[in-house]
Amino acid sequence: TKNIVIIGGSHAGSQAAASLRTDGFDGKITLISSERELPYHRPPLSKAFIKADEGELQELRPAAFYEKNAIELLLGRTVTAIDRVAGLVRLDDGDLPFDGLVLATGARVRVPPVHGIDLDNVFMLRTADDARRLKARFHEAQDVVVVGGGFIGLELASTARLLGKTVTVLEAAPRLMGRAVAPAISAHFLELHRGWGSTIRLETPVAGLVGENGAVVAVETLSGERIPADTVIVGVGVVPNIELAEAAELEVANGIVVDATMATADPRIVAAGDAVSFHHWALGRPVRLESVQNAVDQAKTAAATLLGKPEPYKAVPWFWSDQGDAKLQMVGLLNDADRSVLRGKPEDGSFSVFHYKGDKLVAIDSVNRATDHMLGRRWIGAGASPAPESVADESVDLKKLVV
Ligand code: FAD
């Protein structure tokens, strides 16, 4: 392999470029991104970036890094097709040959099919540009309605409250962050957000947005109620960017399908990050994960595979979300847990829920409890499981526990 092209310049793409160099690749690397910015940290867009007066993007790596490592950046450029027969990617203004290709195309916001979604002052958040627009709007916004009680919706809701806005969150499901956390965590954050002054309405699906003179003035619920809004933030998930892979006749499902080493069926092509569907070793079924950890670790695996040193991807999944002064951290995947044990008291604002499948620790959700989270990463990584009785007993020092 002499000439590697990376499509997508975010957490996965930038890491793939860096790993190719640390793994000893001395051929050509071209990193192509539709976004104009140097690859930057995406999570702060719903956190510090929106809050800070002088919000700056945090670059993943400085410009000098790409220069020093001879990584050619094509920013603000979009790949429109992959020609696998000719071995080239097509850009709007020309072709670029490859003999190795990394697909790090990530995901984009899911636009719900409701009326009024194109009205002015309706926002969705994925990119730096989205964040700049929302931040500018926050100077004027008063009545903010957030559609979707997931991580991004709730992070923005807490920020909007901090900035003094009236905030209503509408969630279709019976609990917050329902796809990702334990019920005790959902209940705790419901209390927190209500305590911060937001109105949180569960089981309230949205039918559409109502406008006047082209701008949103209300959100209409499925039951016909109208909730006034001068600003609406829609955070109802993402869809993976699989179209390029699909058009190139690579297998796609809910993501670009790869094997345990991040390889597609074409030996020249690997994929990593939010765009990828892979067979999870512990769950025994295909999953697509949306996290910085997953994007970065899969990119390392993908780079090694492309250089002929494939190793199965086995990184422990972890994730975080900052809402107000509460830091939520998750490690492992709780999908197949069959019981959970509480450590600490939610009313103290610091506790963890340990999830077990039988006797095996599979995941931990923690609120303001970094130690539990860090221990969990180590334990789950090593396949170790502390006894549930020890976990439930706060007089047991987990750091001293031998498991
Ligand atoms: P992406 O970040 O989606 O990047 C893909 C890139 O590829 C984009 O720049 C896109 O423009 C580009 N691209 C796609 N197609 C093409 C093409 N054809 N040609 C050229 N370029 C193309 N994760 C956490 O772990 N913790 C958090 O707290 C957290 N908070 C978040 C907050 C926000 C507001 C958002 C939006 C995400 C958050 N995430 C968080 C998720 C995390 O940011 C993603 O999991 C991560 O960015 C995935 O990285 P990626 O490289 O796979 O894809």
The predicted-structure confidence for 92-113, as pLDDT tens digits, reads as follows 889 999 999 999 999 999 999 9
Spacing, Cα 277 to ligand 1 middle (Å): 15
Domains 3-108+238-306 and 111-234 share a fold: yes
Which tens digit of pLDDT belongs to each residue from 63-96?
A: 999 999 999 999 999 999 999 999 999 998 899 9
Q: At residue 350, does pLDDT exceed 90? A: yes
**Pocket residues: Cβ below 6 A from ligand 1:** 7-13, 32-35, 42-43, 45-46, 78-79, 104-107, 125-126, 152, 241, 244, 273-275, 290-293, 295, 319-321
| Residue minimizing CA distance to atom 18 of ligand 1 | 79
Q: Coil, strand or helix: which one is 396? A: coil
Residue 391 alpha carbon to ligand 1 centre in Å: 35
Measured in Å, residue 92 CA sits from the centre of ligand 1 at: 22
Q: Whose CA is nearest to atom 32 of ligand 1?
A: 43
pLDDT (tens digit, 9 = 90+) per residue, 320-336?
Answer: 999 999 999 999 998 78
In this prediction, does ipTM exceed 0.95? yes
Query: Which atom, in ligand 1's list, is nearest to the CA of 107?
Result: 3
Q: Please, which residues bridge with residue 233 across strands?
A: 123, 146
pLDDT exceeds 70 at position 17:
yes
> Residue 71 CA to chain centroid, in angstroms?
25
Best substitution site from 177, 292, 301, 321 to test ligand 1's pocket, by max atoms within 8 Å of Cβ? 292
Tell me what pLDDT residue 175 has.
Answer: 98
Note the pLDDT of residue 283.
Answer: 87
- Cβ atoms within 10 Å of 325's Cβ, excluding its own: 11
Q: pLDDT at residue 54 above 70?
A: no
Extended beta strands in 110-192, E state = 122-123, 143-147, 166-170
- pLDDT for residue 381: 94
Give the pLDDT score at 65. 98
Q: Which helix (H) or strand (E) holds 381?
A: helix 370-382
What is the C-alpha R_g of the chain?
Answer: 22
Distance from C-alpha of 277 to C-alpha of 239, rounded to nearest angstrom: 12
Please give the single-letter amino acid code of residue 44.
Answer: P
d(CA 198, CA 160): 9
Place 308 in a pLDDT band, splitting at 50, 70 and 90. Answer: very high
Atom of ligand 1 nearest to the CA of 290: 45
Q: How far does the centroid of ligand 1 lie from the alpha carbon of residue 230, in Å?
A: 28
Give the torsion through C-alpha atoms of 362, 289, 156, 351, to 10 deg.
10
Dihedral sign of CA atoms 39, 40, 43, 49 in order: negative
Please report, in angstroms and rounded to a whole number, the separation of the first and last CA atoms in the chain: 44
| Domain 111-234 CATH assignment equals 3.50.50.60 | yes
Considering only CA atoms, which residue is closest to atom 8 of ligand 1? 8
C-alpha 107 – ligand 1 centre gap (Å) = 6
Strands (E), 268-317: 269-271, 276-279, 286-287
Predicted TM-score of the model (pTM): 0.97
User: Domain 3-108+238-306 is in which class?
Assistant: alpha beta
pLDDT greater than 90 at residue 249:
yes
Q: From 5, 6, 10, give the residue whose CB has the most ligand 1 atoms within 8 Å, as the site to mutate.
A: 10
- Residue ranges of domains in the chain: 3-108+238-306, 111-234, 325-400
Cα–Cα dist 375/380, whole Å: 9
Query: Tell me, what's the pLDDT at 69?
Result: 98
How far, in Å, is the centroid of ligand 1 from the Cα of 8?
9
Task: Name the pLDDT band for 53 (thresholds 50, 70, 90).
Answer: confident
Alpha helix ranges (H) inside 8-47: 11-22
**Region 167-195 average pLDDT:** 97
- How many angstroms is it from 42 CA to the middle of ligand 1? 6
Q: In the CATH hierarchy, which fold is given to the domain comprising 325-400?
A: Enolase-like; domain 1 (3.30.390)
Specify the long-range contacts of residues 241-244, CB closer than 8 Å, at least 24 apart. Answer: 241/8, 241/105, 241/106, 241/107, 241/108, 241/275, 242/105, 242/275, 244/7, 244/79, 244/81, 244/82, 244/103, 244/105
β 88-91/94-97 pair status:
antiparallel
pLDDT of 335 reads: 78
Residues 34 and 78: beta-carbon distance below 8 Å? yes
